[in-house]
Chains A and B, each alone.
Chain A
Amino acid sequence: MSATFIGMPGNFPKNAEKAVQDSQLRFNLRKATHTIRDKRAEVVGELPDWGELRAAGKAIKDDVLHNLDRYLIQLEEAVTRAGGTVHWARDAAEANRIVTDLVKATGETEVVKVKSMATQEIGLNEALAAHGIAAYETDLAELIVQLGDDFPSHILVPAIHRNRSEIREIFLDKMPGVSRDLTDDPPALTEAARLHLRDRFLRSKVAISGANFMVAETGTLVVLESEGNGRMCLSLPETLISVVGIEKLLPSWRDLEVFLQLLPRSSTGERMNPYTSMWTGAVEGQEFHLVLLDNGRTDVLADEVGRQALRCIRCSACLNVCPVYERAGGHAYGSVYPGPIGAILTPQLRGMTTDLDASLPFASSLCGACYDVCPVAIDIPEVLVDLRAKAPHAAAERAAMKVAGWVLDDHERLATAQRAATRLRRFVPKKGLPGPMSAWTDTRDVPEIPEESFRDWWERAGRSASAEER
C-alpha cells in the first residue's frame, strides 16, 4: 500500500463530505453495518452471561493497564524462554527500523503480511518499500485495498466501501495473470485472490503479523481470523515477526476464556471465527521476533479518563452502530482507526495538533450506542466529552456544526440525537465545552435535560454556523 494515513490533511467533516454525498456508498455502508449489527445482537443474545463476560473483560483489561510494566516484563521473559526474541519500539520510526533490519538480515526482499492495524498505524509497508522490500497483504480486503492503492475504511471489513464491480476492475487491472473472463461474482473474485496468493504463501520466507492478544503468563500470542491467510503466514514462513501494541496483553492463560467469547461475537457476529492460531515463542523450527510498540500508548495511559481507550480489542462493534460512521464512512477519520474508537484513540495517540485530529472528538452525536455494544465497556462518550474540552476551539466548532447538520437532516437521526441529549445526563462534565458546544454541557446543573434542548440549540446556533461554514 503506497497510500498512508500519516499526515492526511483536512478535518473530519471536510473529509466526510464526499462520502456524505455519495448515496451508493451510504447504501453500502448502511447495509453492511446493519447486517453485522444484527448478527452480533443475535449471538450476543444467545449467551445468558454476556453482562458478566463484559464486566470481566473490562476488569481484566484495566488490570493489564494498571500493571502494564509488570506484565510486559513477564511476557518478555516467557517469550524469550520459549525461544523468541523481544524488541521494544518507542515510536513508529523505531519499530519500522527494527522490522526492516530483521527482514534485511534474512536476505529476503519480499514479505507476506496478515492484516495488522499496528503495522498500518506505523506505515510499515511504506518503510519497507523505501528499503526495497515488498510487503504483500494477504487478507482479501487488505489485498483489495492494497491493489487499489486505497485506504481501509472499516476495522473488520476494510474494503467495505468497494462494491463487487469495483473489486473486479481492481483485480483485472492489478493482479498479474488474472483471467480476463473474471466475473464480479464474489466466489469468483475470492477464487482469483486464492490463486493469486497461493504461490506466494508457499514460497515466502518471512511473514509479518500483529496479534489480538498476548498472554503475559505464558508468552502466548493469539491471532483470530477467517480466511486462513493468517494460518498461512503464521506457520509456513521460516521467520515470523509480530508487531504488537503494548496494551494487547492479557495477564493469564485463563483470561482467554473471556476474550474468545467476547471478541468473535462482537466482531463478526459469529459464535466463533473460523480460525484462531496460538503460538508460544519459536514453534516448529521457526524463528520468532516480537516487536512491542509504544507509539503514543504510554501517553494515552497517563490520561485517567482517556486510558480506557486502551482496553479496546478492535472488534469494530462500535463502528457498526454509529450513526455518524454510517454517514461519513471510514476514510473521514483519517487514520487506521475509524469510527467511535478512532474518534477517541487517534487524537490521543497523535495529540490534537492538526485540524483533523482536533476535529475527531466531534465526530459523534454522543448517542452512546457505541458504549452499549462495546465488549470491554469503554465509555466512548465520556472520553469524547473530555477530549472536546481539551480540543483547540476553531476546528472543534466547525466540526461540531457539520456533524450536527448530518445528524439532524433526517428523522431517524434527529431521534438519535435527541436520545443523545437525554443520555448526556450520564455525564457530569468536568469542564464546560467551548463555543456552541457549551449548549450541550451548560445543562450540567440541570438534573434533567429537556427533550427539546438539542433541537432548540440547533435552531438557535446551528443553522447560521453551518451556513457560514459552507
Chain B
Amino acid sequence: MASGMSAREEILAKVRAAVAGAPTVEIPRGYRTRRQVDDLVGLFAERVGDYRAIVRVVPSAELGATIDACVHGRRMVVPDGFGRDGGWDDLDTADGVMTHCAVAIAETGTIVLDHGPGQGTRAQTLVPDYHLCVVLADQIVPGVPEAVERLDPSRPLTWISGPSATSDIELNRVEGVHGPRTLEVLIST
C-alpha cells in the first residue's frame, strides 16, 4: 500500500482487492416470516414465565387495580406518557419502574422497549430493581421477524427476556446481576 493513504482508504482498498471477482450471493429466505399462533397471549405468557419472570393476564378494566396491587408501597418511577401520577423521581432511591412496551414476541417471551412515551429512558428502566411492564394484547406478535418489522431502528431499543441473569459461576443460573432482579409482566386483554 502506498504510504500516506488514510486508514479508511487503505482498508477499503484491501477489501476491494481481497474480494475482487467474488460472486454475487443470493439470500434464500425460506424461513418462517409469518407464523400462525392460535393463542398469542397464552404462548407469550408461558414463554415469559419460563424465564422466571412473573406474568399475569389482566382484563383491561382491572388493570389500574392490578398495578396498584403490584406496586403497593414501592417507590415507583412513572415515565412521562404512562398515564399515572405520583411517580418517584430520584432514580437512585427508586424501588421500581413501570412501563409500557413497543412490541412483545410470543415465541421467545420477549418485550421490546423503544423508550417512546410511557416507556421511560434507558436509565429509568435499568437502574431500579423491579420492572413492571404492561403489555397490551394487540402488541404481541408471533415471532422475531414480525417484531423486527414493527420496530423503528432510529429509536434506541431494549429487548428484554426475563430478569437479568448470569451463568458465569460453574454455569449456575443466578437471576439478578445489574439489571432489574424482578420482572413482572401484566398482559392487558
Contacts and interface: CB of A to CB of B under 8 A. Distances in A.
B7 A275 contact: no
Q: Decide if the interface of chain A is mainly helix, strand, loop or mixed.
A: helix
Interface stretch (B55-63, B66-74, B75-83, B105-113): B105-113
Contact of B109 (A32, A139, A271): A271
A389 interface: no
A69 to B, nearest CB: 5
B177 A272 contact: no
B27 interface: yes
Interface string B120-161: 011100110000000000000000110011000111111111
B166 A190 contact: yes
Q: Decide if the interface of chain B is mainly helix, strand, loop or mixed.
A: loop
A144 interface: yes
Contacts of B17: 302
Interface stretch (A249-257, A347-355, A367-375, A456-464): A249-257
A312 interface: no
B123 A301 contact: no
B110 A227 contact: no
A321 interface: no
Contact of A226 (B11, B108, B166, B171): B166
A140 B47 contact: no
User: Which residue, B127, B153, B157, B162, has most C-beta atoms of chain A within 10 A?
Assistant: B153
Given A186-B170, A298-B18, A274 B165 contact: yes
A274 B160 contact: yes
A198 B127 CA distance: 9
Interface in A266-298: 268, 270-280, 283-284, 292, 294, 298
30 contacts: A35-B171, A36-B171, A49-B30, A52-B30, A55-B30, A63-B27, A65-B19, A66-B19, A66-B22, A88-B8, A88-B11, A90-B10, A163-B170, A167-B169, A190-B174, A194-B177, A228-B126, A228-B180, A229-B178, A235-B156, A257-B144, A270-B161, A271-B108, A272-B159, A274-B162, A274-B165, A274-B179, A284-B121, A284-B122, A284-B156
Interface of A: 28, 31-32, 35-36, 48-49, 52-53, 55-56, 59-60, 62-63, 65-69, 72-73, 82, 88-90, 94, 138-141, 144, 157-160, 163-164, 167, 186-187, 189-190, 193-194, 197-198, 201-202, 215, 218, 220, 226-229, 231-232, 234-236, 246, 253-254, 256-258, 260-261, 268, 270-280, 283-284, 292, 294, 298-299, 301-302, 307
